[in-house]
């Protein structure tokens, strides 16, 4: 597992995402790292992230899979290009589609483990499958189709 997360290499002007931006002080600040051929991130839901008392609300699970998916896509794009994260130009992905299957209620009060696997990488598109586990129990699975961010969305370059 590398020390720095992929999100730590995002340029400042692309680091404000509520889900994973290191510069969004109100957000989740998710950190995606390689662990062999998979990626992993961890997040402990906040006390208010309730669905019904005792369980995590589904929107958070979707958000974690989403940001872990685009982070994994960026990390995979650097690997595919044979470049280190942090080298120019930066890779940054947005989500084209997101699927989440909620397999069982996700308990509050434990750190969630989100794992990603690159299923396909082709041109500007990366498909990532993901799992969300709590206390060793698989709670949700998902799939993110991520595409490289259009140049027009990049601040100052649109």
Cα torsion angle, 122, 71, 151, 63, sign: positive
Q: Does 105 bind a second copy (CB under 8 A)?
A: yes
Contact 74, 133 (CB under 8 A): no
Give whichever of 15 and 37 is closer to a second copy, judged by the CB atom: 15
| Residues 135 to 154 in contact with a second copy, rule: CB under 8 A | 149, 153-154
Closest contact distance (angstroms) between CB of 36 and a second copy is 26
Angle at 7 between CA 92 and CA 48, to 5 degrees: 115
Q: Does 125 bind a second copy (CB under 8 A)?
A: no
Q: Please give the distance of CA 124 from its chain centroid, rounded to a whole number.
A: 17
Q: Does 90 bind a second copy (CB under 8 A)?
A: no
Give whichever of 36 and 156 is closer to a second copy, judged by the CB atom: 156
Look up residue 95 and give its DSSP letter: E
Q: Does 55 bind a second copy (CB under 8 A)?
A: yes
Among 22, 31, 33, 49, binds a second copy (CB under 8 A): 49
Residue 124 phi, psi (nearest 5):
-90, 5
Q: Helix or strand or coil: residue 51?
A: coil
Radius of gyration of the chain (CA): 15
Size of the site for a second copy (CB under 8 A): 42
Name the site residues for a second copy (rule: CB under 8 A): 13-14, 16-19, 21, 24-27, 48-55, 57-60, 62-64, 66-67, 94-102, 105, 149, 153-155
């Amino acid at each position: 597992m590398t020390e720095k997360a992929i999100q730590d290499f995002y340029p400042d002007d692309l680091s404000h995402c509520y889900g994973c931006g290191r510069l969004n002080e109100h957000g989740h600040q998710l950190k995606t790292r390689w662990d062999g051929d998979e990626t992993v991130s961890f997040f402990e839901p906040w006390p208010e992230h309730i669905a019904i008392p005792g369980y995590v609300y589904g929107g958070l699970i979707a958000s974690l899979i989403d940001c872990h998916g685009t982070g994994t896509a960026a990390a995979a794009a650097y690997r595919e290009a044979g470049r280190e994260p942090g080298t120019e130009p930066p890779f940054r992905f947005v989500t084209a589609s997101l699927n989440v299957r909620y397999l069982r209620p996700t308990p509050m009060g434990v750190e969630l483990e989100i794992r990603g696997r690159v299923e396909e990488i082709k041109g500007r598109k990366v498909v990532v499958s993901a799992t969300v586990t709590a206390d060793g129990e698989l709670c949700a699975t998902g799939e993110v189709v991520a595409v490289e961010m259009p140049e027009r969305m990049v601040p100052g370059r649109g």
